[in-house]
Amino acid sequence: PRLAVLASGRGSNLQAILDAIADGRLDARVAGVFGDRPGAHALERARDAGIEARALRPRDFAGRDEFDAALFAMVAAVRPDYVVCAGYMRLIGAAAVAPWAGRIVNIHPSLLPDFKGLDTHARALAAGAAEHGASLHFVTADLDGGPVIAQARVPVLPGDDPVALAGRVLEVEHPLMVAALQLLCAGRIVLREGVVEFDGQPL
């Protein structure tokens, strides 16, 4: 399958995907990397791997729908089977998500449904959570609210600060991303009528 990856920043999740493809652990191809920040390191990682990478600036557009329409026109042009949000830090409007229903996933650094949105590590610490982690989920118009495919958990340890906790989560985020994409790309994970099915059975 062909993947389009959306990324806003560092791109370590994109790198995990590229490494898994290069190693033969993931049978897929990254057809393009797109984003909302032209300076993002993720775009450089893509170009280093010989992959088309383009970002648009939200401020050049009249509003969210106009930005999303332009971004997803570039996505559609590379004819992806799946769209993977890998550290893409912008809400995607309902109109842009709709055509990709069941074919667009996001990695979020919390154990959803806990801590949707930003600053998840600081919020998990402030809440006194004993465990934290990451979730790979289908994207719907409901921010970080789409059906969860898989999660990876880590303990919160005494003395943790948001940076230490984020680092521990990132270590499990990358294998989670790869494992979930393996299943998705093999057609073993499917979203049917809002329910995630694994090998034909509701998860």
CB of 16 to ligand GRF, least distance (A): 8
Segment near ligand GRF (CB under 6 A), from 2-10, 24-32, 55-63, 181-189? 2-10
11 among the known binding-site residues? yes
Is the distance from CB of 120 to CB of 39 less than 8 angstroms? no
Whether 177 has a binding-site annotation, put simply, is no
Helix/strand/coil for 10: coil
Alpha carbons within 13 A on the beta-carbon side of 1? 18
Query: Which residues are paired to 34 by β-bridges?
Result: 6, 54
Tell me if 124 contacts ligand GRF by CB under 6 A: no
For the CB of residue 173, give the shortest distance to ligand GRF in the complex, in Å: 6
Closer by beta carbon to ligand GRF, 9 or else 80: 9
**Is residue 110 involved in binding ligand GRF (CB under 6 A)?**
no
Instruction: Please report whether residue 109 would count as binding ligand GRF according to CB under 6 A.
Output: yes
CA 160 to chain centre: 25
- Distance linking the first and last C-alpha atoms of the chain: 23
Query: Which of 36, 68, 160, 173 contacts ligand GRF by CB under 6 A?
Result: 173
Distant-in-sequence, close-in-space partners of 16: CB < 8 Å, separation ≥ 6: 173, 174, 175, 177, 178
Residues that bind ligand GRF (CB under 6 A): 7, 9-13, 42, 86-87, 107-109, 134, 170, 173
Active site residues: 108
